[in-house]
Structure 1
């Protein structure tokens, strides 16, 4: 059974991702990496804005795993970008 908070969470995330996608397309900066980063930032914001004060539902406790995987992928993207910027022979 879906709760109003869960529906609010999903709607907030979808709205953020659609808005981010539209802005990236308008700016001509749409790449998979950038869309992922924008979506991850939105996900973290939505998680915090919809956090309950008293009781944490079971579905929210599973979000920590999604956050952890998202941060690992983000770290991989950052490392890859740094390695692209560094001149050849610096890391080796």
Structure 2
């Protein structure tokens, strides 16, 4: 809800910005919630979600770069 409020406040509502902000928030929560001395079993499952998020983030960045270069991309 905080992400949507900030995006609405700055009049920058788009799914790309929302996804990137949620991914950053998720990464912060995962890093702060995990213990430093022991690697819990749930961490391997979270790493899969993180990798999927990074791949989607990479696709968003590629789309933005190709838009700036005026090259069309089919997804």
**TM-score in terms of structure 1 length:** 0.70
Are residue 61 (structure 1) and residue 61 (structure 2) matched? no
> Aligned residue for 1:44?
27
Structure 2 unmatched runs, 5+: none
Give the structure 2 partner of residue 74 of structure 1.
Answer: 57
CA RMSD of aligned residues (A): 1.3
Asked which structure has the greater CA Rg, the reply is 1
Supply the distance in 2 between the matched residues of 1:54 and 1:65 (Cα, whole angstroms). Answer: 21
Cα displacement (A) at 1:21:
1.3
Aligned length: 71
Give TM-score, length-normalised by structure 2: 0.84
Greater relative contact order: 1 or 2 (C-alpha under 8 angstroms, separation 6 or more)?
1
Structure 1: where are the runs of 5+ without partners? 1-17
Alignment pair present for 1:20 and 2:3: yes
